[in-house]
A and B are shown apart, each in its own frame.
Chain A
Amino acid sequence: MKKNIPLFLLIALITPSLQSTESEEPKEKIVEFTGYVNYKTFYDTRQVVGVTEDQTVFFPKPIDCSPTGDINAHGHLQMLPFETRMRITLREPHKKYNFSCKGIIEVEFRGVQTLVNIVNMRHAFAQLDIRKTTLIFGQTWHTLNVEDLIPNTVSFNSGRPFAVYNRSPQIRYTQHLSNIDIILSAASQVDFQSDGPVGLSTTYIRNAIIPNFDFQVKGFFGQHVVGTGIDYQRISPRQVSPQGYKVHEDLSSVTGIWFLGLNWPKLTVKNTMMFGGNLSNYGVTGGYAVKKGSTDPITGQQKYTNIRTFTAWSDITVLPAQHIEPGVFLGISKNFGSAHEIEPTSVDPDSNPVLPTVYGLGTDINIMFRVSPRIRVKIGQVTFAGEIEYTRAAYGHLTNHGHVIHTAPVANTQFLFSTFLFF
C-alpha cells in the first residue's frame, strides 16, 4: 500500500485543477493534419546491431571469427520508406479561462518488432494547460527523453545508444514557475521494453506494480534551457523459478540526467549527460545481471544487480543560410559495471549460453563513441539530407563486476541519404 502513496498524491494534486474547468464548453476547435513522406537509403560498412531492417542502428556487431575471416565484416545496403508519418493535432483553446486542451495522435509505418511497413502508434496523448499547470496523459516522449534536446540526426536512431529514445504511456504533471518548470511523471512501458529472462517484455515492469517515476527541474534563460532529473524504475524479472517455485524478485534502478540546450539564431548546441543502471529500455547500453551467490539452491529465487552506464553527447546544428543546415552529433558511452559481483553465464561445450544471467543491450561493450556529421538542404517543404555516421565499439569480456576488459574494437560507418516531403 505504501508503494502506491506517491501515485495517489499525484492524482490528488491535479484533481482540483480539473474540477474547476470541466464544465466549460469549448470555444473553438482546430484540427491539423501534418506529417511527412520519407525515403532513406543507407549503406553500412559492417553488420550492425539494429532494429526494423536495421534502419535504427545501435552499434556494429562484434567480431565473429571463422577460419576464413570475420563473418560480420560485411556491409549491407538498404532503402526504406517507413519513417513516413502522419499526425493529427486537435486544439480547443478556452482563452477566457486560461485553459486549453490539445490532443495529438501520430503514427508511422515502422511496424512492431520485426514486422515492418505496418502502422504503429508513436504518440497519442491529451494535454491540458490550466494557467501555470500542464497535465499530459497518454503515450508520448518519456520524461528522460527531453523534448527540447532530441538530437537532430538524419538517422532514425536519434543518437541511440548514447541518447535516450523512448515513448511511454504516462501521466505527467508540469508546474510552470517563473523560468522554471517542475515536472513529475509516472510511466509504464509498451514499445520500449526492458530485457529479461523471457526477452524484451513489458511483464517485468507490470509485475513490479510500481510505475516508472521521474522528477525533473528545467530552467529557461532566454532561448536556452538547462535541467536535471532523476528517474526511478523497478522491475520484477520473474514470478516463477525454473524449479517451479513462486519467487519475489525485484530490481530497482535509478538514473540521473543533466542537460543544457543553447539556442542562438545561427547555432544550436544540445548537450546531455546521463548515468544510471538498467538503461536498455531507454535505448542506451547497459542492463542488469544476477547477483553472484544469490540463487537459493531450493527455490531458485535470485537477486539482481544493475550494470551502470555513463553516456554523454552533444549535437551541434549550424544555421548559416536559409536552406542549408549542417550539423554534427558526438556521443560517448562507458560501461561502469556493477556494484556487486555478477553470476557468470554458464555455457555449453559450443560456448552457447545455457541460462543467461546478464540482460540488456550491449553489456559486453566497454567504451563506445560516435561522430556523425550531417547536412540538410531545406527547400520549402522538401528536405534532402545526408549523414556519415562513424561508430566504434570496444567489445570484450565481462569481469566479476560487470566491467568489460580485453577489448577488441570494431567500427561501422554508415552513409545515409534521406529525403523528406513535409505536409
Chain B
Amino acid sequence: MKAQHIFILLLFFVSAPLFAKLPFNIFNCTLSGYIKAETYTDSRQTRGDEIIDISFFPKPQELDPAGHDINAQAATYMDAFESRTRVTMEGLKMRDATIKGLIEADFEVFYSGITNIPHLRHAYLTLDWKRASLLLGHTWHPVVFLESKTINYNGSTPFDFYARCPQLAFTYHTSKNVDLIAVAASQVDYDNDGPYGYDSDYIRWALVPNLHLQCKWFLKNHTMSFGFDYRRLTPRLKSDTDFKVNEHINSIAAIWYLGLKWPSIEVNTKVNWGQNVNNYNGIGGFAVREGSADPITDHREYTNISAIGAWMDIEIVKNKKIKPAIFIAYTQNLGSSQPIDFDIVDNNNVLIERRIYGFVPDVHNVIRISSRLTSDINNMTFAGEVEYTRAAYGTITRSATVINTTPAELIRCTFAAYYYF
C-alpha cells in the first residue's frame, strides 16, 4: 500500500522542473476531420461492435429444426457515423518545450443500440522537448501501430490489437533514431471481459496500471518496433458465497511491427501475441483454473487464454488517383497453459454461470484477405473494398484450445466516400 502512495506522490512532483516562470505565446487552434459515408453488403450475419460496422467476423452456423443455417443471411447497410472532427491546439512554447493539445470525436458509440452520438476518441496534451516527450490523456494504446488503412472500419481486428486508453506516456528520443517508450495506462471504452461482463472495474481493482515498454527504430521513412505489455486484473472482490476474496490474473503481451514506406509502395506488417487480449479486440481471454475454486470461500484462480495474430498490408501509392492495396491476416487461439473449468449450463444447455471470459473463445482461427482500391481527388477520397473472412468455430477443450471446427465465411463489399476538411 505504501509503495502505491509513494508512486502517486511522485506523480505530483514530476512537473517540479516546470515550476519556474517561463515565457509563453498564444495557441493556434485548427479544426480538421472528415465526413465518411459508406455502404456495405455482407454475405452473412456478422459479429462486431457499433451495430455491425466493425465487423470482426462471421457468426457461427445456427441450424434451425429444418437444418437451415439462420445466420446464412446477407444484409446491406449504410451509415456515416465514422465521420469525425478534431481540434488541434499548437503553438505554445515553454522555453525548450513545445505544448500541443488534441481533442477528437466521432459518432460511433461503444454501447449497444446507441450510435450517432459524439464520442471521445482522443483528448490529450503533449509536452515535447528535444530528447523527450510526455503525453497525458486519452489516445491510442501503444500496442497500436497505425490505424488500419482498410476501408472497412474494423481496425484490422481481431488480428491486430486496437485500443485507445487514458495513459501517461514518456518517450525518450535517443541520438540513434531510436525511441524508448514507457507507458502506464488504464481502461475506458476498451475494457476486459470478466464475471460482470466488460468493465473497467477489473483493472481498477488490481491497483497496478497497465504497463508497456516499447523500443521503436526509425530509418528514413521506415519504422520498426518491439513492445512488451503487462496487465493485471482483479476479477472479483466478493465470491459467490459472499466471502471477501483476493483474486488476480497477470497477463503479458508482445508486439512487433514493421512499416516500410517508399514513394511507390507502402508495406506494413505486424505480429502480436498476447494473453487475455480481448480488451485490445484480440480473441481469447481468461478462465477459471480447473479445480481451483475453494469449496467454502469460493476463492478462484485463473488462467490466461492466449492468442497470436499477424497481418500485412501492401499498398501501391505511386498514383494518388488509383491506389490498389491488399490486406492479409491470420489469428489463432493458442489455448491455456493450465486446464480450465467450463461454463456451467443446465440440462437444456442454458448458461447458468460463466467460467470462461473473453472474446469468442470458441474460435480456433480466423483468416482474412481483403483487396481495396482508393482514389484521392482533391479533398475527396472514393474507395471500394472486397473482404473475405473465414472463422473456424468449434468445441473448447480443457486446455482452452478449440477442436472439431466448422468454418463460417463472410464476404463484405464496401463502398465509401470521404470528404476531408
Taking Cβ atoms with an 8 Å cutoff, the residues of A that contact B are 33, 35, 37-41, 43, 45, 47, 53-54, 64, 66-82, 84, 86, 107, 109, 115-119, 322-324, 375, 377, 379-382, 384, 386, 415, 417, 419, 421, 423
Contact = CB atoms under 8 A, between A and B. Distances in A.
Interface stretch (B101-109, B300-308, B317-325, B361-369): B101-109
A77 B207 contact: yes
B4 A423 contact: no
Nearest to A42: B8
B120 A84 contact: yes
A80 B189 CA distance: 11
A43 B207 contact: yes
Which 3 residue pairs are nearest across A and B when measured between Cβ atoms? A81-B138, A386-B12, A79-B166
Interface stretch (B14-22, B220-228, B261-269, B412-420): B14-22
Contact of A71 (B87, B114, B208, B238): B238
Which interface class (under 10, 10 to 19, 20 to 34, 35 or more) fits B? 35 or more
Contacts of A107: 118
B9 interface: yes
B89 A421 contact: yes
A379 B22 contact: yes
A77 B186 CA distance: 8
A37 B137 contact: yes
Contact of B188 (A53, A77, A324): A53
A45 B207 CA distance: 10
Nearest to B201: A76
B112 to A, nearest CB: 10
A346 B109 CA distance: 40
Contacts of B124: 37, 39, 81
B27 A116 contact: no
A376 to B, nearest CB: 11
A379 B18 contact: yes
Given A68-B245, A74-B237, A115-B114, A84 B166 contact: no
B292 interface: no
A415 B166 contact: no
A381 B92 contact: yes
Contact of A384 (B4, B5, B15): B15
B110 interface: yes
Given A39-B166, A43-B4, A377 B19 contact: yes
Nearest to B245: A68
B330 to A, nearest CB: 31
Given A381-B99, A382-B125, A39 B209 contact: no
B94 A380 contact: yes
Contacts of B19: 323-324, 377, 379
B272 interface: no
A16 B226 CA distance: 71
A47 B236 CA distance: 13
A221 B158 CA distance: 64
B314 to A, nearest CB: 34
Given A66-B242, A118-B117, A381 B237 contact: no
8 contacts: A37-B123, A77-B207, A80-B166, A81-B138, A109-B120, A380-B24, A382-B94, A382-B99
A319 to B, nearest CB: 15
A356 to B, nearest CB: 21
Most buried by B among A79, A82, A324: A79
A309 to B, nearest CB: 30
B94 A77 contact: no
Nearest to B297: A68
Nearest to A67: B243
B244 interface: yes
A43 B238 contact: no
A43 B200 contact: no
B123 A109 contact: yes
B173 interface: no
Contact of B105 (A116, A119, A382): A119
Contacts of A76: 201, 204-205, 207
A72 B237 CA distance: 8
B175 to A, nearest CB: 28
B260 interface: no
Contacts of B209: 77, 79
A47 B200 CA distance: 14
B120 A66 contact: no
Contact of B8 (A37, A64, A382, A417): A417
A247 B186 CA distance: 49
Contacts of A69: 244
B186 A78 contact: yes
Contacts of B237: 47, 71-72, 74
Nearest to A386: B12
Given A69-B244, A115-B111, A377-B15, A78 B204 contact: yes
Contacts of A35: 103
A381 B186 contact: no
Contacts of B117: 118-119
Contacts of B242: 66
Contacts of B165: 79
B8 A43 contact: yes
A111 to B, nearest CB: 9
B188 A117 contact: yes
Contacts of B234: 74
Given A71-B244, A77-B207, A79-B185, A380 B12 contact: no
B123 A38 contact: yes
Nearest to B12: A386
B11 interface: yes
A53 to B, nearest CB: 6
Nearest to B87: A86
B244 A70 contact: yes
